[in-house]
Chains A and B, each alone.
Chain A
């Protein structure tokens, strides 16, 4: 289905579901873009995925739906495709790719933030599986999740003692809270806590191998941070192109905004075209995220009218925080540039 055809369907779809923007993205095949064809995907290379995401951004959806959709696609579906067993892939990927199943990636904790070395949620090995205890917070899609990709501690070492699990929402001992964060700019991205209370899962719930949790988390963040703001760049380009012609200082501001958005778009295109997994290129995703969030902020200031709701402005502020705050990305770049003392990493 083409994007134009989806756009024609929008008014009908809006009447059908409580999450119409999510369904629109599913109908536009967003979740199928990078997925291998044998699981129902389109198998597109990262450099082509970027072009589709820029176009999806022009559909005029609430910008925060792309936070929900990106968490689902890049931090749940993508890791399952790349680290999952064949059983996990064949049973989960088609339903995730259609948007019928909603995925959530649970890593942040109340006392540790996204610092995985301080993670306390534990998965204790028992006969036939693990018993999980702990609380995850700020989980995008948490309240709606059918499937939770959890990173939990299975050993003492910060890097090697983490394991990823796939937990069905119906599993006894798993509680999904109601939305805990209702913030400006995040109106259609439900965010909540995920609580594990003696939650027993089988050994087949492990994603990848025990001890691979940090590897899986980093792989998920590498793609999520690369792609998460690309639709918003497409939306910003559409707004800047559509605005009335201006003169004087207003024109200068708009030109500056357009330049920033185009530079961020080119950065995303280049990073996606040269995409490879691994620490040697993690930093590129941070460059894209930083560049995009900065450009979106400038664009929002120059495209938000005085008499309209400041959605783009509020989203631009939120975009500087989710999927790694600006400071997190600066730390990644400092590490890449050798600006971090070795003994204090």
Chain B
């Protein structure tokens, strides 16, 4: 499941408290600029998608739930 995988990745990226799909990532200060770039890289490589300029809006990265929704809007290649 995309949400669970993203939570585990983010917990590795910003060690500390557990992250769930509703954690406030940007407004809550969990992700700084560098971590956000790393997250975008991770998403593009893991799901073989190219995020568009319209995707790169902070609102799409505010929670794991929103990130997963954005990923699902792309055609994710089946393995």
B58 within 8 A of A: yes
B34 & A218 in contact (Cβ 8 Å cutoff): yes
Known: A278-B41, A343-B28. A159 touches B53 (CB 8 A): no
Chain B residues contacting A314 (CB-CB under 8 Å) are: none
Segment 320-345 of A: residues with Cβ below 8 Å from B: 335, 338, 341-345
A6 within 8 A of B: no
B38 & A160 in contact (Cβ 8 Å cutoff): no
Contact with A along B39-79 (1 / 0, CB 8 A): 01100000000111101111001000000000000000000
What is the minimal beta-carbon distance from A147 to any residue of chain B, in angstroms? 24
B41 & A211 in contact (Cβ 8 Å cutoff): no
B41 & A335 in contact (Cβ 8 Å cutoff): no
Interchain CB contact (< 8 A) of A343 among B29, B40, B58, B61? B29
Number of chain B residues whose Cβ lies closer than 8 Å to a Cβ of chain A = 25
Segment 254-285 of A: residues with Cβ below 8 Å from B: 278-280, 282
Interchain CB contact (< 8 A) of B32 among A156, A278, A345? A345
A345 & B15 in contact (Cβ 8 Å cutoff): no
B41 & A215 in contact (Cβ 8 Å cutoff): yes
- What is the bound-complex CA distance between A211 and B57, given in angstroms? 9
Measured CB to CB, the nearest residue on chain B to A278 is B38
Chain A residues contacting B16 (CB-CB under 8 Å) are: 338, 342
Instruction: Report the interface size class on chain A.
Output: 20 to 34
What is the minimal beta-carbon distance from B39 to any residue of chain A, in angstroms? 9
A155 & B38 in contact (Cβ 8 Å cutoff): no
Chain B residues contacting A160 (CB-CB under 8 Å) are: 36, 40, 56-58, 61
B35 within 8 A of A: yes
A90 within 8 A of B: no
- What is the bound-complex CA distance between A343 and B13, given in angstroms? 15
B37 & A279 in contact (Cβ 8 Å cutoff): yes
Chain A residues contacting B28 (CB-CB under 8 Å) are: 342-343
Chain A to chain B contacts (Cβ below 8 Å), 30 pairs: A116-B33, A117-B33, A156-B58, A157-B57, A158-B33, A159-B32, A159-B33, A159-B34, A159-B37, A161-B56, A209-B50, A211-B51, A211-B53, A211-B55, A215-B41, A218-B34, A278-B38, A278-B41, A279-B13, A279-B34, A279-B35, A279-B37, A282-B34, A335-B32, A335-B34, A342-B14, A342-B16, A343-B28, A343-B29, A345-B29
